[in-house]
Amino acid sequence: MTPTRLELIGTEVAIIWSDGTEQYLSMEKLRAASPSAENTGERDLLGRKIGGTDQKSYPGVTVKDWRVVGGYAIQFDFSDGHNTGLYTYDYLRALE
């Protein structure tokens, strides 16, 4: 499943998928769901979590731009400067 169209509409990201499904994601929720190491942290060799954040809310944060990465993910540029998360197509489809 791949996105055929993506638009920024107000405070939502609208995605039309190759099966015709339309998905609307809140920009604030999309920012909170970033799969980046900045958000989720990283694990060392012993499994200990390093970094990450406990922040779950990003009021007023919007998507400024986006780009397709490698034909499998989308990278968003957020108004708070965050842009390191790669949202795979499967991950995006699972978000509500």
Query: What is the tens place of the pLDDT at every residue in 21-74?
Result: 999 999 999 999 999 867 767 788 888 877 767 778 899 999 999 999 999 999
Which helix (H) or strand (E) is 77 found in, with range? strand 73-78
The more confidently predicted of residues 95 and 54 is 95
**Distance (Å, whole) CA 30 – CA 13:** 9
Residue 4: inside a domain? no
Structure token digits, residue 45: 């060799």
Q: How many domains does the chain have?
A: 1
Asked if residue 13 has pLDDT above 80, the reply is yes
Range of the domain at 57: 28-94
Residue 8: inside a domain? no
Structure token digits, residue 33: 């769901």
Q: What is the pTM of this model?
A: 0.86
Residue 16: inside a domain? no
DSSP 56: -
